[in-house]
Structure 1
Amino acid sequence: MVCWVAQVMVMTSPYQVVLTEADRAVLEAQVRAATSPQRVVLRAVIVLLAADGQPNAAIADELGICTDTARKWRARFCQRGLAGLADAPRTGRRPIYTPAHKARVTAWACQLPAEHDLPLSRWSTRELADQLRSDGIEASLSTVRRWLADDAIKPWQYQSWIFMRDPDFETKAARVLDLYDRRYQGEPLGPDDFVISADEKPSIQARRRCHDTLPAAPGRGLRVNNDYTRGGALTYLAAYDVHRATVFGRCAQSTGIAAFTELVDQVMTQEPYASAERVFWIVDNGSSHRGQAAIDRLAARYPNAIMIHTPVHASWLNQVEVFFSIIQRKVLTPNNFENLKALEQRLLTFEKRYNTTAQPFAWRYTTDDLRKHLARLDDHEKARQAA
């Protein structure tokens, strides 16, 4: 009798995976990460099992994949390391659009629709796609949006701007900036000199919401009812001591010379301003403190007070506007007040709270910055005229 002995031959891979501690740490982190794509996790597990001595067939059986998949990623890792587990670059489908097509949408976006007799104030993505279609270019909204994003062009947005009309803009602006730097007419301010920035915030409405505002909750922000009844409006006047970071405010029914004079009286009748050497009042060109008449009126009432006007259309130089922006963000938005009395109480209470912790604003715009800015504007205007 002849006995046959069956021999089982186990195929061993020519690629033996040996992991460094760093590589193993990276692969295990990929497996544990909840955000890892499934294909990344699979490749990492294949390599980890291979490093533990598992043959390709056993890996395939354990993971429910074909042997060729296990063989492929084992070989890719042995040949190129961790970089071999990434997707290989693909040539992909040839692009449908040419650079000329993209340049076309950029050219349209950088022109005003009215220049081409189109009844539009500004472009939207859809309007641009429609315009391209009329030019014989079929491009989807997402394609047009992607092209504009590549060039950081958003023609549907707009920003207001204004020409400087004050012939003495630089002189007036430099005077204000020097005062912020504690200088006046080339001389440093003394310890008994103070700088006050003052203005009004008019027409602040008291809007009574038809339903109570709901506080924030887990997974939900503050909720403010859209319906409201109007409870009237008032004006908030404020004087801000630039270097002492102190606000003096009051509310009035409207703006005007009388209301502004009451604010001046509120400040100038208390120390240290009543006995100060000089108190500089920086104001814009609003009707309640405009022109030489306002300068003379202040000087006659308080001989140690000097009114300094910002240039026309340069209220941004007035530091009290920074405080008003804080008021708008922290007190008035969202607007929900029972009546004008509640609104006034909130404004004045916030003012007291602000004064307990306030620090002077970190004002960094100097006269040197102003001169550089004006020089750039001059160069731009000369280039525009030359073109």
Structure 2
Amino acid sequence: MLDLYARVWDGEPLGEHDYVISSDEKTSIQARCRCHPTLPPGCSRTMRVNHTYKRRGALAYLAAYDVHRANVFGRCEDTTGIVPFARLVEQVMTQEPYASAERVFWIVDNGSSHRGQAAIDRLAEQFPNAIMVHTPVHASWLNQVEIFFSIVQRKIVSPNDFTDTDEVAARLAAFETHYNRAAQPFKWKFTTADLADLLARLDRYERDHDQPDKTTAQARAA
């Protein structure tokens, strides 16, 4: 996965017609309608958000982020799952340049929508030029789409004052259009060399702490 971010696969550079997609779901974005209007910041006054609200439903936001072109393709669904994720894949893979690409690598975590070999086989059957690559377990933070989701959380979802889910979906779509006009690829700095160094340090730590205390060992021997 880190090699793909550096445009390498199996030790070989990616070709001109190879693409890397980072994908995931942002679940349960709630529409909370505040009982009193949110007041914007003013002179010597921070934003004021009423703590009382009515729940107006929730939706899931599925997104696919082109790592090297900084393009986002998103859609809102009632829930996550295998079928909604397949619709996102179809949305991306049926348009250019992905439809005629040599290879399109899909980086995903181990969520139930795209877990395991079954998900890899489904994707390959759906689109033969698509290759699914899973993040390590408990390492979904390595998935670059999570950075985009954090931007969405700060700029769109917070402070969460929406009349209904239609307004949430409209705001997400408008932001997606704006983002694709202005965004640049993320400056990813965690490389395979950094990973090797981290693993070496963890290995040294474990070896040092697995060694029994010399005094305790001598006492046991006695």
TM-score, structure 2 normalization: 0.94
Counterpart of 1:360?
A: 185
1:381 Cα deviation from its structure 2 partner: 1.5
More strand by share: 2
- 5 Å-filtered alignment, 1:63-102, equals none
* Cα offsets for 1:239-266 (capped at 9, x unmatched): 0000000000000000100000000000
Distance in 2 (alpha carbons) for counterparts of 1:226 and 1:371: 47
Counterpart of 1:306?
A: 131
Distance in 1 (alpha carbons) for counterparts of 2:200 and 2:29: 38
Counterpart of 1:205?
A: 30
Which of structures 1 and 2 has the bigger CA Rg? 1
Counterpart of 1:21?
A: none
2:79 is the alignment partner of 1:254? yes
* Cα offsets for 1:330-379 (capped at 9, x unmatched): 11110100001001111111111111000000001100000000111111
Counterpart of 1:375?
A: 200
Pick aligned residue for 2:141 from 308, 311, 316: 316
Identity, % of aligned positions: 67
Pick aligned residue for 1:286 from 91, 111, 115: 111
Counterpart of 1:236?
A: 61
Question: Where does the alignment leave 5 or more consecutive residues of structure 2 unmatched?
Answer: 214-222
Counterpart of 1:345?
A: 170
Counterpart of 1:274?
A: 99
1:380 Cα deviation from its structure 2 partner: 1.3
1:232 Cα deviation from its structure 2 partner: 1.1
- What code does the residue aligned with 2:81 have? G
- What code does the residue aligned with 1:214 have? L
Question: Where does the alignment leave 5 or more consecutive residues of structure 1 unmatched?
Answer: 1-175
Distance in 1 (alpha carbons) for counterparts of 2:97 and 2:6: 20
Paired residue secondary structure (1:342): helix
Paired residue secondary structure (2:157): coil
* Cα offsets for 1:265-323 (capped at 9, x unmatched): 00000000000000000000000100000000000110000000111111011000000
- What code does the residue aligned with 2:170 have? Q
Distance in 2 (alpha carbons) for counterparts of 1:223 and 1:300: 51
- What code does the residue aligned with 1:272 have? P
More helix by share: 1
- What code does the residue aligned with 1:192 have? H
Pick aligned residue for 2:9 from 154, 176, 184: 184
* Cα offsets for 1:150-185 (capped at 9, x unmatched): xxxxxxxxxxxxxxxxxxxxxxxxxx0000000000
- What code does the residue aligned with 2:199 have? L
Which ranges of 4 or more aligned residues in structure 1 deviate by more than 2 Å?
none
Alpha-carbon RMSD: 0.7
Paired residue secondary structure (1:383): helix
